[in-house]
Structure 1
Amino acid sequence: MRYHPALMDELNLLLHFNLDTTQQGIKVHHDASPGLIEAAARLHEKGLITQPDGGYLTELGRETAEHAQIMLGLLKESTPA
């Protein structure tokens, strides 16, 4: 399985969550890109966020967002300057 644009939208949306607190969520507004709106809905269907337009991370969503942020950090570290 490869990363495709829809999956990349989901990963990018997960990167917007602040993992330093559970008291801060996000809101995907109706004028956001269609890919971002659809990504939020899919993440909600998968049980990763509490609302179809954002909200808060669920326990599984937090774990997934942590992994996404770690992966991004590792890939950025290995990117040549």
Structure 2
Amino acid sequence: MRYNQALLDELNLLLHFDLDTTQQGIKVHHDADPALIGAAQRLYDKGLITLHDGGYLTDLGREAAEHAQGMLGLLKETTAA
């Protein structure tokens, strides 16, 4: 399986969460990019975020966001080397 655009949109949305705190969520506004709105809905449907338009990370969502942010960090480091 390869990353498709929908999965990339979900990964990019997970990058917006601040992992240093559990008290800060995100809000995807109704006039945002449709791809972002769709990504939020899919993450909600998968049980990774608490609201269809953002909210907070669930425990599973936090784990996914940690992996997404960690992978991005590794790829950036590798690219810079």
Q: What is the Cα deviation at residue 80 of structure 1?
A: 4.0
Q: What is the Cα deviation at residue 16 of structure 1?
A: 0.1
Once residues 27 and 21 of structure 1 are traced to their aligned partners in structure 2, the CA distance between those partners, rounded to angstroms, is 16
Q: 1:33-72 alignment to 2 at 5 Å?
A: 33-72=33-72
Which residue of structure 2 lines up, in the alignment, with residue 17 of structure 1? 17
Look up the equivalent residue of 1:6 and give its one-letter code.
Answer: A
| Stretches of structure 2 lacking an aligned partner (at least 5 in a row) | none
**TM superposition outliers: structure 1 runs of 4+ over 4 Å:** none
The CA RMSD measured in Å over matched residues stands at 0.9
| Stretches of structure 1 lacking an aligned partner (at least 5 in a row) | none
TM-score (norm 2): 0.97
Once residues 3 and 32 of structure 1 are traced to their aligned partners in structure 2, the CA distance between those partners, rounded to angstroms, is 22
Once residues 52 and 18 of structure 1 are traced to their aligned partners in structure 2, the CA distance between those partners, rounded to angstroms, is 18
Give the length in aligned residue pairs.
81
1:28-59 per-residue CA deviation (whole Å, 9 max, x = no partner) reads 00111000000000000000000000000000
Once residues 75 and 46 of structure 2 are traced to their aligned partners in structure 1, the CA distance between those partners, rounded to angstroms, is 25
TM-score (norm 1): 0.97
Which residue of structure 1 lines up, in the alignment, with residue 78 of structure 2? 78
Look up the equivalent residue of 1:2 and give its one-letter code.
Answer: R
